[in-house]
Amino acid sequence: MKSKYLLIAIFVLTLLFPTSNLIGQDKNKNYGKASDEIFPYQRFQKAYKYHFLEPIKFYGAGREIPPPTDLKEVRIGFLGPLEGSVIVSLGKQMLQGATLAIEEANKKGGYRGIPFKLMIHNDVGLWGAAANEVVKMDDEKVWAWLGSIDDIVSHVAIRATLKLEIPMVCTGDPDPTFTETAIPWVIRVISDDRQSCYSLVNQIYKKDGLSRVAVIRANNRYGRVGIKIFSETATRVGHPMVIEERFNDGETDFKTQLERILVTSPDAILIWGNAKESALILQQIRAMGLKQPIYGSDRMVNPEFLKIAGKLAEGIVTTCQYNPNADIPKLKAFQSNYLKRFSQEPDVFAAHAYDGMNIIIGAINKAGLNRVLIRDVLTDLKTFQNYPGITGKIVFDGSWNDIGDIYMAEVRDGKFKFSLAPPPKDMERHTSNAGY
């Protein structure tokens, strides 16, 4: 009798916990590749359920819709800051990377002999405007779209893409909460600020042995959300920020903020903002006689920062979502072709847009002209897991967030030098062996 009840119990457990959901899962893997030390609430009680580790399913209709038969072009949308924004230079790089991918695909025959066409839309960082642009893309009958960089724009746009059911590939917004909206029409092909902050925390507190960090950051969502992750992570390893100051885009005089920082006697300063303001802040830090090590957000990895900062940039450390000097043949070919086509070196947004657009094109070629089927391919973790992009292997977690490698970038001899940022667990092992 007991064996009968035991068999029934085993059968019920099998229904509740299908083995197909368990096979291949790493039960020791935390969200965002966090080490146990920096994982939230790890020192209190284990959560009974963790979000963002299992992909959201889409059970809606649409897979049965047949493809059109009279198309003269296959349209793909683009949304980026091209006018009226302080990050226009970044948006143009993203557009050029996407354009190059489209042009190369058309040289290979497009989609079954039909050329791809990029439908270009501008974002200006205004609430609501982005949603209107996505609606326009729907009217244009795009099959998927790529964008954007501004956090506010991206968050508004993905609400519209959810309602209109258009697949979207993000290649510029590093906001950690972007993919946590659980919208099954969105993937991100660039590492987020959560991973960058984990790497910075390891670098500053573990490897460099510092403890009192002052922060000065942009007074916008990019600065607020990025530093929020850094602050929480630093606190979990026992080093809360000593002060957090803010500045506005376009600001040039940071004396007041830096004087308040000076009073706290920090042993390092972290700058989080765009290239121009970051370089000006660095100049004023050194002009005040402050000699502390300076760290920064990934937007420092920009020729504008090096030009403005000059020799003062030497020794600055930040992160980057790929290594532009990597020995990847496809990357070198891309860089050469990009320079010939646009008379400009590609940046991180151009490179990821190129990868993201090639992923869209590959999904269309595989799925055909049906938005839901294209979505199915884009969100299929088996299809694009370890995708060999020019930015390196692209790896997605359960929220379709790119958790590929992060690199540390340090200015040496006037140029950024890149090295792979050790994962948190490896860094802990390394620093304990080093005697920190």
pLDDT in tens, 238-265: 999 999 999 999 999 999 999 999 999 9
Give pTM, 2 decimals. 0.87
Amino acid at 366: K
Per-chain mean pLDDT for the chain = 89
Residue 345 gets the label, from left (phi > 0), alpha (psi -120 to 50) or beta, of beta
Element (H, E) at 300: none
- Specify the pLDDT at position 427: 46
Asked if 400 and 188 count as a contact pair (C-beta separation under 8 A), the reply is yes
pLDDT above 80 for 10: no
- Specify the pLDDT at position 48: 63
Amino acid at 430: H
Measure the CA angle with vertex 418, ends 417 and 419; round to 5°.
130
pLDDT in tens, 327-356: 999 999 999 999 999 999 999 999 999 999
With cut-offs at 50, 70 and 90, classify the pLDDT of residue 432: very low
Mean pLDDT for the stretch of residues 68-86: 95
What letter would DSSP give residue 382?
Answer: H
Beta strands per DSSP E along 114-259: 116-122, 145-147, 168-170, 186-188, 213-218, 243-247
Architecture of the domain spanning 194-320+407-434: 3-Layer(aba) Sandwich (3.40)
Q: Which residue has the tokens 């000097």?
A: 325
Rg (CA), the chain: 23
Mean pLDDT for the stretch of residues 310-326: 97
Helix axes 329-342, 348-367, angle to 10 degrees: 110
Asked if 195 and 420 count as a contact pair (C-beta separation under 8 A), the reply is no
pLDDT above 50 for 429: no
pLDDT in tens, 119-149: 999 998 777 789 999 999 999 999 999 999 9
- Specify the pLDDT at position 20: 37
Q: Which of 38-52, 88-102, 403-417 has the lowest mean pLDDT?
A: 38-52
Q: Which of 47-51, 115-119, 322-326 has the lowest mean pLDDT?
A: 47-51
Cα separation, 373 vs 31, in Å, equals 28
How would DSSP label each residue in 74-133?
EEEEEEE--SSSTTHHHHHHHHHHHHHHHHHHHHTTTBTTBPEEEEEEE--S-TTHHHHH
- Specify the pLDDT at position 53: 75
pLDDT in tens, 257-307: 999 999 999 999 999 999 999 999 999 999 999 999 999 999 999 999 999
Answer with the residue of higher pLDDT: 46 or 89: 89
- The structural domains of the chain, with segments of one domain joined by +, span 74-191+328-394, 194-320+407-434
Beta bridge partners of 230: none
Query: Residue 81: CA atoms inside 13 Å, Cβ hemisphere, count?
Result: 21
Give 175's contacts (C-beta < 8 A, 6+ positions apart): 151, 154, 155, 192, 193, 221, 222, 225
Q: Quick one: what percent of the chain has pLDDT higher than 90?
A: 77
> Could you give phi then psi for residue 108, rounded to 5 degrees?
-90, 5
State whether residue 312 is helix, strand or coil.
Answer: helix
Beta bridge partners of 78: 120, 146
pLDDT in tens, 152-178: 899 999 999 999 999 999 999 999 999
Domains 74-191+328-394 and 194-320+407-434 share a fold: yes
pLDDT in tens, 88-113: 999 999 999 999 999 999 999 999 99
- Specify the pLDDT at position 285: 98
Task: Give the pair of three-digit tokens for residue 8.
Answer: 């029934």
Pick the CATH number of 74-191+328-394 from 3.40.1010.10, 3.60.15.10, 3.30.565.10, 3.40.50.2300: 3.40.50.2300
How would DSSP label each residue in 226-283?
HHHHHHHHHHHTT---SEEEEE-TT----HHHHHHHHHT--SEEEEES-HHHHHHHHH
Q: Pairing mode, if any, of strands 186-188 and 74-80?
A: unpaired
Rounded to the nearest angstrom, the gap between the alpha carbon of residue 371 and the centroid of all alpha carbons in its chain is: 24
- Specify the pLDDT at position 16: 40
Cα separation, 400 vs 123, in Å, equals 24
